[in-house]
Amino acid sequence: STTHSGGLDLTGRHVVVSAGGTRERLDPVRFLGNRSSGRQGYALARAAAARGAEVTLVAANVTLPDPAGVKVVRVESTAELRDAVLSAAAAADAVVMAAAPADFRPVHRSETKIKKAEDGSAPSITLEQNPDILKELSSERPRPGAVIVGFAAETGDDSGSVLDLARAKLARKGCDLLVVNDVSGGAVFGAEDNEAVVLAADGTAVDVPRGSKGALAHVIWDQVAARLPSS
């Protein structure tokens, strides 16, 4: 496990971390999902517990073992993730949205298995947008003074660089910190290592060199701890 200089600096704090990828059911055997492994969220939960925090980990479809000393709440869909995060956030000093919520869900969920048609035609699936949990947390502020943290995996595109897009996303979401992964070069999904920039709404940016997800987790908690109101 990764060491840090913070000691038990999160003692007496309650933090909420979401992890994994949500699934939106199409029928009893199929879902829309994504490749998030939950590793970064689990590393955050472990690191916060090691620093003395009371941790609620909201886990969406993660196959990793429960971290010791952490309360784990299991969810499947974005709607369930939203309910679990918002209810835990009421008592939280910090909320870190490391999960990858499905952005869309099917308008209709079939109660029976969708069958192939004889004529070779394929069904159309109509999607609707899911609620944006991070945006809601950031605007509603269920607990005043709590630090709200988002994640973003970005590739640059015609409209801007990774950092331009990330700054715009931070402003759009209204959170306090945004942890940005540059995924132009390949996959972060399922990887052991991570490299990131922690952007803050107050304008600072902390570069985190390639290292373990545990090491990144501790840098994130350092940034959170520096912004917590004194208890």
| Binding positions for CTP | 103, 113, 131-134, 151, 169, 173
Q: Is 103 in the site for Ca ion (CB under 5 A)?
A: yes
Name 121's Cβ contacts closer than 8 Å, sequence gap at least 6: none
Q: Is 132 in the site for ligand CTP (CB under 6 A)?
A: yes
Strands 147-154 and 177-182 come out as parallel
Q: Is 57 in the site for ligand CTP (CB under 6 A)?
A: no
Establish whether 130 is a catalytic residue. Answer: no
Neighbours of 99 (CB within 10 A): 29
Among 20, 41, 150, 214, binds ligand CTP (CB under 6 A): 150
CA distances from residue 225 to 7, 37, 89 in whole angstroms, order as listed:
12, 26, 17
What sign does the CA torsion over 131, 214, 200, 196 have?
negative
Nearer to Ca ion, 41 or 67 (CB): 41
Q: Which of residues 95-124 bind ligand CTP (CB under 6 A)?
A: 97, 99, 101, 103
Q: Within 13 Å and on the Cβ side, how many CA atoms surround 2?
A: 21
* Dist CA 69 CA 230 (whole Å): 24
- The alpha-carbon radius of gyration of the chain (Å, integer) is 18
Out of 34, 130, 181, 194, pick the active-site residue.
34
199 binds, among ligand CTP, Ca ion, none (CB under 5 to 8 A by kind): none
Q: Is 177 in the site for ligand CTP (CB under 6 A)?
A: no
Number of residues this chain uses to bind Ca ion (CB under 5 A): 1
Provide, rounded to whole angstroms, the least separation between the CB of residue 27 and ligand CTP: 22
Contact by Cβ (8 Å): 109, 27? yes
Provide, rounded to whole angstroms, the least separation between the CB of residue 130 and ligand CTP: 5
Residues of this chain that interact with ligand CTP (CB under 6 A) are 78, 97, 99, 101, 103, 130, 132-134, 150-152
